[in-house]
């Protein structure tokens, strides 16, 4: 029924079981290119299907600003259930009941000095990332862009959330990075392709990754 209801919404039509954007159709490290091509074809706002899950993709900066800053509504129940085992009642997933109080508490810390400092750190980390990409351009070897962007994001997250500099981009493949990637992959299985994942033995990978992150 949801697919019939949203049939006229911009975006690729879904397959019956697999959706419209699956791992079998996209080579590793090229997901960003697939989304970019869909944006060129369908416009700034379009949807994709991952199994039975429908995701609306926004690429207009004013729309993104409205959702994330002007009107940051609490996340939906299924989002909280998926990320809750890893994040608890934290910045990423929080119940609707706690959303307002958390928002008031956190907003006090986002002052001009904090934002300026994070901006400078992001600039340094971007330089490291771009240097890696520049070194790969003349050569014949490929770069796993998903992996490199994950490293960049982890450095920023740890700096912003915990005031820690862990240097994932410069230290190579750390156990923490593998655990982070495994956790995200298993969360995707739960929210996207296999919503019955929580009842399957495959959940063991997520449990092991979560133990590393907790430590």
Do 29 and 97 lie in one domain? The reply is no
Residue 1 has what pLDDT? 46
Domain hosting 15: range is: 2-72
> Which of these, 59, 26, 25, lies nearest to 42 by C-alpha position?
59
> Which of these, 2, 5, 1, 6, lies nearest to 47 by C-alpha position?
6
Q: Give me the chain's average pLDDT, please.
A: 71
Do 95 and 168 lie in one domain? The reply is yes
Q: Note the pLDDT tens digit of each residue in 34-50.
A: 888 889 999 888 888 77
Higher pLDDT, 212 or 202: 212
Do 65 and 102 lie in one domain? The reply is no
Q: Identify the domain boundary among 72, 98, 115.
A: 72
Residue 98: enclosing H or E segment and its boundaries?
helix 96-107
Do 11 and 95 lie in one domain? The reply is no
Do 89 and 16 lie in one domain? The reply is no
> In Å, how far are 81, 186, 195, 197 from 201, measured between CA atoms?
18, 12, 13, 8
Q: Identify the domain boundary among 27, 51, 72.
A: 72
Residue 21 has what pLDDT? 61
User: Is the pLDDT assigned to residue 160 strictly greater than 80?
Assistant: no
Do 108 and 167 lie in one domain? The reply is yes
User: Is the pLDDT assigned to residue 117 strictly greater than 80?
Assistant: yes
Do 86 and 53 lie in one domain? The reply is no
The pTM for the full model equals: 0.44
**130-144 mean pLDDT:** 78
Q: Identify the domain boundary among 53, 72, 91.
A: 72
Do 85 and 23 lie in one domain? The reply is no
Q: Note the pLDDT tens digit of each residue in 59-75.
A: 887 877 776 666 656 66
Confidence category of residue 193, pLDDT binned at 50, 70, 90:
very low
User: Is the pLDDT assigned to residue 17 strictly greater than 70?
Assistant: no
**90-95 mean pLDDT:** 61
DSSP, residue by residue, 28-94 = TT-HHHHHHHHHHHH-SEEEEEETTEEEEEE--HHHHHIIIIIS-PPPPHHHHHHHHHHH-SSSS--
Do 149 and 61 lie in one domain? The reply is no
Do 31 and 134 lie in one domain? The reply is no
**188-194 mean pLDDT:** 54
Higher pLDDT, 200 or 186: 186
Do 117 and 28 lie in one domain? The reply is no
**154-183 mean pLDDT:** 74
CA distance 204 to 143: 29
**143-151 mean pLDDT:** 80
Do 125 and 156 lie in one domain? The reply is yes
Cβ-proximal residues to 52 (8 Å cutoff; 6+ apart), any chain: 19, 195
Number of domains in the chain: 2
């Amino acid at each position: 029924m949801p697919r019939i209801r949203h049939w006229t919404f911009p975006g690729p039509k879904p397959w019956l079981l697999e959706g419209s954007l699956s791992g079998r159709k996209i080579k590793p490290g090229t997901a960003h290119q697939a989304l970019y091509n869909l944006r060129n074809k369908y416009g700034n706002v379009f949807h994709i299907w991952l199994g039975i899950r429908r995701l609306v993709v926004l690429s207009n900066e004013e729309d993104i600003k409205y959702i994330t800053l002007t009107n940051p509504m609490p996340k939906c129940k299924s989002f909280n259930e998926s990320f809750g085992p890893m994040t608890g009642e934290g910045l990423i997933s929080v119940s609707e009941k706690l959303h307002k109080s958390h928002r008031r508490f956190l907003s006090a810390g986002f002052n001009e000095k904090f934002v300026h400092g994070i901006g400078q750190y992001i600039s340094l980390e971007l330089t490291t990332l771009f240097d890696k990409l520049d070194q790969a351009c003349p050569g014949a070897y490929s770069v796993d862009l998903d992996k490199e962007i994950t490293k960049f994001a982890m450095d920023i997250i740890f700096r912003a959330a915990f005031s820690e500099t862990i240097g994932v981009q410069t230290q190579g493949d750390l156990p923490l990075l593998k655990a982070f990637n495994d956790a995200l992959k298993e969360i995707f299985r739960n929210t996207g392709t296999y919503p019955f994942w929580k009842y399957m033995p495959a959940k063991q990978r997520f449990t092991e990754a979560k133990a590393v992150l907790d430590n």
